[in-house]
Every structure is written in structure tokens, then in C-alpha cells.
Amino acid sequence: MADLSGIIELHREHYRKGVLNNLFFTTLHLREYHYQKQKNNAFYHIQAINLPFQNFEFNYLP
């Protein structure tokens, strides 16, 4: 399991109490695939809610 504490701590000034934070991850391959699919398919934009990015939600408690 990866330790995300460093990147979370680096951006701590942007977090607010009581707000659910999102941290998104992707790979170069998934990102290129997403943009190529979007370029080739006008209807893909409508389905953009299903992006191939990993999502990590958290509350920041210092």
C-alpha cells in the first residue's frame, strides 16, 4: 500500500474543516486513452463521469 501522507501534507493549506476532499490519480496510459476516446467520440464527453481516474476521498484532520 502506498503512503499518501507526504502529498496530503504538502497541500494541507488548501483543505477546509468539514469538507470532503478528493485526490485523483491516473497513469499516462489511462490519460492518453481517455483523451483519444474523447477526440474520436463526441458522445463520450457526456459519459465523462466515468473517467478512468482513481479517486481517494478523505477528511483532513490535522
The tens-digit pLDDT sequence of the chain (62 residues) is: 678 788 888 988 888 888 888 887 778 888 788 778 777 776 766 655 566 567 777 787 77
Question: What is the DSSP code (8-state) at residue 1?
Answer: -
pLDDT of residue 45: 61
pLDDT of residue 32: 85
Distant-in-sequence, close-in-space partners of 21: CB < 8 Å, separation ≥ 6: 15, 57, 58, 59, 60
**Are 31 and 12 in contact, with CB atoms under 8 Å apart?**
no
Query: What DSSP string runs through 12-61?
Result: GGG--TT--EEEEE--HHHHHHHHHHHHH-GGGGGGGGG-S-EEEEE---
Enter the pTM of the model.
Answer: 0.46
